[in-house]
Amino acid sequence: METFALIFVSIFTGYIINFKKIFAQNTPIILNQFILYISLPAMVFLQIPKLTFSFDIIIPVVISYGVMAFSALFIFYISKVLQFSREVTASLMLVGVLGNTSFVGIPVIQAYFGESALPYVLIYDQLGSFIVLSTYGTFISVYYSREDNVDVKAIAIKIITFPTFIALLTSLFFIGTTFHPVITSVLSSLASTIIPLALVSVGLQLKFKLPKEDMKPFAVAIGVKLLLAPVIAICIAYLFTWENTVADISIIESAMGPMITAGAVASMAGLSPRLSSAVVGYGTILSLLTSWMFFTVL
């Protein structure tokens, strides 16, 4: 209950601060940079060593890629059937596929499954969502906005030099290692900043304006991201007979709302910015309800 109270208060606080224009306009960028370069790497080093080498590590990766692949194919197909414009299709293939598996996923999963679930959240996010955002997300934004060709080398460099990804790969060598209490204390203090900063940042970036002509693509994006995606995850888990907590964690991760960064990418590329922002805004709030629904089913 305390975690959910913190989630709502933090998001609402961020939204009010943005509405009243109390902070500088670039505050979300600064908060996100602090999280990506300091808080998340600290959490990675704190949580990943607690894992044990087992097949369970593969489960979040398989489910994440399976969910995103099927979601992208479905959105591409339904966009053709409903004759959405090129820009709307691209927007949906970003915000309807990529989930907010870290900034919102971490506090939500921690509330449902406890701190022991965090290593699997990080695996799902870094080896799944982050890599797909950097590759697939870049391709969609470039291809549909008719810019230059995709620079595969630049994407690869971006991935392998990203602080959290480096921390993940490095921390794998420390699995089973117990750090000195001082190191653990420092990492814990830095990692604890993720939840309040990330959620305030989410609130600062929420936008809810939605023209009537965007209602149909909006419904498609919300339906795929919040309802179809977790159903796909459940089907994958059932197909491979994964009936354990790690599979449940991965299913709830797949139910997270649209990724804010994906919405930003769509907006910067001129791919239906208002629609993208509305899907992220409403989707983030609605995901708190739909993820709870799927958690109660599990």
pLDDT of residue 7: 80
Report CA torsion sign: 139, 140, 141, 143: positive
Q: Give the global pTM.
A: 0.86
Domain ranges of the chain: 2-297
pLDDT of residue 159: 75
Helix (H) or strand (E) holding 66: helix 58-81
Token pair listed for 137? 């997300």
pLDDT of residue 40: 87
Summarised one tens digit per residue, pLDDT across range 243-285 is 999 999 999 999 999 988 888 788 777 888 888 888 888 888 8
Summarised one tens digit per residue, pLDDT across range 68-115 is 999 999 999 999 999 999 999 999 999 999 998 888 888 899 989 998
DSSP reduced 3-state for 207:
coil
Top-tier CATH class for 2-297: mainly alpha
Summarised one tens digit per residue, pLDDT across range 12-46 is 898 899 888 898 888 888 888 898 889 989 999 99
Summarised one tens digit per residue, pLDDT across range 130-144 is 889 888 888 888 788
- Nearest alpha carbon to residue 226 among 284, 295, 296: 284
C-alpha to C-alpha distance for 66 and 272, rounded to whole angstroms: 26
Q: What is the DSSP letter of 150?
A: P
